[in-house]
Amino acid sequence: MKLSFLSRIKKAADSRWFKILVDYLLITVGVILTAIALDAFLIPGRIASGGVSGLATIVYHVTGIPVGATMLAVNIPLIIAALVVIGPSFGARTVYGSILVSIAVEALRPVVPVLTQDLMLSSVYGGALAGLGMGLAFRHGGSTGGTDLAAGLINKFTHLSVGKSLLIIDFVVVSLAGVVFSAELALYALISIFATSKVIDLVQEGFSYAKTAIIISSQPDAVASAILTRMGRGVTGIKGVGKYSGMDREVLMCVVSRREITQLKNLVKELDKDAFMTITDTYEVLGEGFSE
């Protein structure tokens, strides 16, 4: 009976609809975090950190029109244009996130306190919290819309990549903030954009908790055997050719945890002091000995 109940839970967790539900739930959480970042830090500090929210922040402080209303007024035409030009391929989750963030900014504004008057704290914490929210939405297939859709449209009609289009849009918004507010606030907006982009990358890629080592040694069998037996880590041998010498070489690849990297370097040096080794950060490892 217990086994049957657990199997039903596992079956439900593996179902497509359950995964979609979880995705939408986490997109909602991401959107709410983004809205809190705007209400608690960025809007009160007049930090127009690019995109539609930055443009809406400028409009709010100049005209008094609510930020959510401006975001909605910009996002809806962009969604319609994207449907006509790009087609529905950009996804229902982007539409959901775009509309929800506009509503959430205004809905949460009366209950979210302004946490600091310090512009540096506002730009760093506001940017980081917005990055956390946007990264969470991106990771689950969603988006807060706005500039993503605009960049897609620019890409459709020009030779500019989506990445360059996003950069241009953010540059225009920050430049406008510099004209309307001050050059100093534009510089704070750049700090916020940097914090947002770094946290988005961190949420999507994760912390660097492992290292990948590439080892070229004249004693590949001895090194591989020592890693297998003394460290308990797997090693993959890849056939290679030294282009300078023209000789066949075996290249070893090994993934270890951060705390094991010193042990690996000492082991390789012990067996072959002339070995060539490169070590790089690894953000996600799937398989035996690491995450499933």
Residue type, 164: K
Q: Which tens digit of pLDDT belongs to each residue from 197-255?
A: 888 878 877 666 688 999 999 889 999 999 999 888 889 999 888 877 778 888 999 99
Which parts of the chain sit beneath pLDDT 50?
1-3
* Domains along the chain with CATH numbers: 2-205 (no CATH), 210-282 (3.30.70.120)
Residue type, 204: Q
Per-residue pLDDT at 46: 94
- DSSP per-residue string spanning 162-186: HHHHHHHHHHHHHHHHHHHT-HHHH
Per-residue pLDDT at 4: 59
pTM of the model: 0.73
For 170, other C-beta atoms within 10 Å of its C-beta total: 22
Which residue from 144, 136, 3, 137 is spatially nearest to 74, judged by alpha carbons?
A: 144
Q: Which token pair is 70?
A: 């401006």
Per-residue pLDDT at 47: 94
